[in-house]
Amino acid sequence: MIRYTLRCDKGHEFDGWFRSSDGFESLRAASQVTCAHCGSAGVEKALMAPRVVQARNDTPDLHTPRNDHEAALEKLRHHIEENSDYVGMSFAAEARAIHEGLAPERAIHGEAKLEDAKKLLEDGVPVAPLPFRMRQRAH
């Protein structure tokens, strides 16, 4: 995973984690990388210095929110995990089945390939990307 410091066209800075540099570029080209503050899709990599850990006890705590934005995202993640069903890679098929009345209506979250997510939106299925990775996939 690569962590980038990002800046939107409105001047907001925020961090983003990506599988690779190519992964960032393809998501950005598809307008899937948006500002965590204002939602703008005009996002570029900002200049950043590498982080060098000097001692073992300087290791950052990745489980504690660093600011109010991270705390709000953590609260949202917890709410989604508690109030919806994780359907994994079956998300696109399950969302479509719910939309078409072929499956019981309920809140779900999961994963979808970019082309499958675009097709859902084109077909009027109400879906939205989450601004974080779910814990089921994070471990």
Cα three-residue angle 104-113-130, rounded to 5 degrees: 70
What's the pLDDT at 36? 84
Angstrom distance (rounded) from CA 86 to CA 77:
12
Q: CB neighbours (10 Å) of residue 70?
A: 15
What's the pLDDT at 139? 39
Kindly state the tokens that stand for 48.
Answer: 């950043």
Angstrom distance (rounded) from CA 22 to CA 36:
21
Q: Is the pTM of this model over 0.75?
A: no
Query: What is the third-level CATH fold of 1-48?
Result: Rubrerythrin, domain 2 (2.20.28)
How confident is the model over 108-117, as pLDDT tens digits? Answer: 999 999 999 9
Each domain of the chain, given as residue ranges in start order, spans 1-48, 65-133
Is 117:92 a contact under the CB 8 Å cutoff? Answer: yes
Of the pLDDT bands very low, low, confident and very high (cuts 50, 70, 90), residue 138 is very low
Angstrom distance (rounded) from CA 97 to CA 120:
11
Angstrom distance (rounded) from CA 18 to CA 26:
11
What's the pLDDT at 131? 83
Residue 15 has pLDDT above 80, yes or no: yes
What's the pLDDT at 124? 95
